Amino acid sequence: MPDRLLIIGGNAAGMTAATWARRQNSSAEIIVVEKTPFISYSECGIPYVFSGQINSLDTLIRYQPQELLEKYQIKVLIQNTVESLNLSSQFAEVKNLAENKISKINFDYLVIATGAKAKVPNIEGLNLAGVFTLRHMPEAKAIDEYLKKNKPRNAVILGAGYIGLEMAEALRACSIDVTIIESSKKLLGNFDGQLKAQIINELNKQKVKLLLDETIHGILGSQKVEYVSASSGVINTDLVIIAIGISPEVSLARSSNIRLGASGAIAVKETLQTNFPNVYAAGDCAEVNHIVLDKPYYFPLGTTANKQGRVAGINIAGGRAKFTGIVGTQAVKVFDLEIATTGLSIDEAKAAGFWVKELSSHSVSRAGYYPGSEPIFTSLLYDERTGKVLGGQMIGYEGVAKRIDVIATALFNKMKVEDLLQLDLSYAPPFAPVWDPILYTVRKLK
């Protein structure tokens, strides 16, 4: 274990790396540099604060810097940013943003956990009051303050991805009229066909206006946002949330000659080492191995960040942990609808050269005669040549989000579709029909 470990980034990956390194070694000096005033919080919980399901944004914060110092002897420098790295001499130039002073911090090992930044469209009006991205806690605090102070009646959300749809639900809970504008014809990045239709039906039911295949021309107003100009016309609004995606924050890595992968994120080994043996990268700034595609991929998620942080922390302390990769599992709640996906979509599988076959079914979440049973639609993809499972998507009003984990496990273990029929899945009328929706789907295999 090195005498000093320096970590850049104080949220999921960075703090997990710090605490796991400390578990392995009680004497090393561990320093975390974080640009914002906030560390160790759940970004995924932010929309549920706006909807009122969680009391406050502060509830999402796991640790304060002083707590980490007292409990783990981890020193956290908030409102500090690393201006440059000298990897050959092993030091970082760190700027204290509050005092506008630069100091030098030497290190033996380094973890880059700089995360990701929100993408923004190349349009006018981004600096108007009432226009926000939503990525980190400072942005969430600003939105929270704006909602309480200005009480907007209309909102436009740019992007129909996970954050966009979650924020639509949150704002509707505040009695705000919501319009979602999406530049593509799909939802959630790759949802089309029946899955797309069911999401649209739910949005219509909840009085959310959805505009697909739409071009944004600009955000306009006098000091404060007043309307959005799009290809279908002008939309009056008091609030704009930009949620068109994220990109890895790798400017520091790039300037330090740390190798980037084809995705634009930092290339790492299974150990989370970069092309510099004493420099690790973890979280939303780093690539992962996609097990189904068998190649490096950019798939930023909180679960992945925590797992990567653990592996980096263990290995820096002399362990031999590996992060083998992901299969692309996600779940989202859109009002009353549960949506989950894992592996590849049809388009992704075809683009990768697989001979894609789809099995699909309409089933139910519980035994049909048991009260509260809800319909579930399941789509399962496999390769016609090898029989291997390629992906799955499920949508319904109950029992979807955790069922997708069965398909994710099959993908991780490179199972064949026919093998799924042998799985001993739980059954009881309050929880599942005798033929679980996944098994019911596989039964259609000819």
DSSP sequence for 410-439: HHHTT-BHHHHTT-----BTTTB-SS-HHH
The token pair that represents 326 in the structure block? 């992901």
Structure tokens that stand for 364 in this block: 């139910």
Q: Sheet containing 356-364: give its strands across.
A: 330-334, 337-343, 389-396, 375-383, 356-364
Whether residues 107 and 130 share a domain: the answer is no
* Average pLDDT score, the chain: 96
Domain final residue pick, 226, 244, 262? 244
Is residue 33 in a domain?
Answer: yes
Which residue among the candidates 1, 44, 87, 212 is catalytic per the annotation?
A: 44
Residue 323 inside a domain? The answer is no
Regarding whether 112 and 74 lie in a shared domain, the answer is yes
Domain with residue 347: its CATH number is 3.50.50.60
- The last residue of a domain, from among 194, 213, 244: 244
How far is residue 309 from each of residues 74, 273, 335, measured CA to CA in Å? Answer: 15, 11, 32
Q: Are residues 26 and 111 in the same domain?
A: yes
Same domain, 284 and 259: yes
| pLDDT over threshold 90, residue 195 | no
347 belongs to a structural domain: yes
Q: What is the pTM of this model?
A: 0.95
In this prediction, residues 53-69 reach a mean pLDDT of 95
- At residue 189 the predicted structure's pLDDT band, cuts being 50, 70 and 90, is confident
Confidence of residue 153 (pLDDT cuts 50, 70, 90): very high
CA distance 150 to 170: 16
Segment 276-286 mean pLDDT: 98
Residue 164 lies in a domain: yes
Q: What percent of the chain has pLDDT over 70?
A: 100
| Residue-wise pLDDT tens digits, 83-119 | 999 999 999 999 999 999 999 999 999 999 999 999 9
Tell me, yes or no, whether 375 and 311 share the same domain: no
Contact between residue 376 and residue 353 where contact means Cβ atoms under 8 Å apart: no
Based on the domain organization, do 259 and 408 belong to the same domain?
A: no
Q: Which amino acid, residue 191?
A: F
> Does one domain contain both 182 and 213?
yes
Do both 226 and 268 map to the same domain?
no
User: Do 430 and 349 share a structural domain?
Assistant: yes
Q: Check whether 3 has a pLDDT greater than 90.
A: no
Is residue 52 situated within a structural domain? Answer: no
Side-chain half-sphere of 207: how many Cα atoms within 13 Å? Answer: 10
321 in any annotated domain: no
Q: Based on the fold, state whether residues 101 and 176 are members of the same structural domain.
A: no
Name the domain count of the chain: 3
Please write down the HEC assignment for all residues of 340-404: EEEECCHHHHHHCCCCEEEEEEEEECCCCCCCCCCEEEEEEEEECCCCEEEEEEEEECCCCCCCH
Asked if 44 is an active-site residue, the reply is yes
What does the DSSP assignment read for 320-342? ------B---EEEEETTEEEEEE
Q: pLDDT digits over 328-356, tens only?
A: 999 999 999 999 999 999 999 999 999 99
Detail the DSSP E strand segments found in 134-184: 154-158, 177-181
Residue where a domain terminates, one of 196, 222, 244: 244
Tokens of 59: 């509830």
Residue 51 in any domain: the answer is no
When pLDDT is averaged across residues 130-141 and rounded to a whole number, the result is 96
Q: What is the pLDDT of residues 353-374, one digit of tens each?
A: 999 999 999 999 999 999 999 9
Percentage above 90 pLDDT, the chain: 96
The 3-state DSSP class for residue 130 equals coil
69, 71, 72, 78: CA torsion to nearest 10: -30
Residue 351 main-chain phi, psi, to 5 deg: -65, -30
408 in the same domain as 264: no
Domain membership of residue 376 (yes or no) is yes
- How far is Cα of residue 28 from the mean position of the Cα atoms in its chain? 31
What pairs with residue 358 in β-bridges? Answer: 381
Least Cα distance to 144 among 286, 397, 136 occurs for 136
- Both 86 and 182 in one domain: the answer is no
Q: Which pLDDT band holds residue 283 (cuts at 50, 70, 90)?
A: very high
273 lies in which domain range?
A: 4-43+61-116+247-316
Run of H or E including 291? none
CA 290 vs. chain centroid, Å, equals 15
Q: What distance in Å separates the CA atoms of residue 42 and residue 382, rounded to the nearest whole number?
A: 34
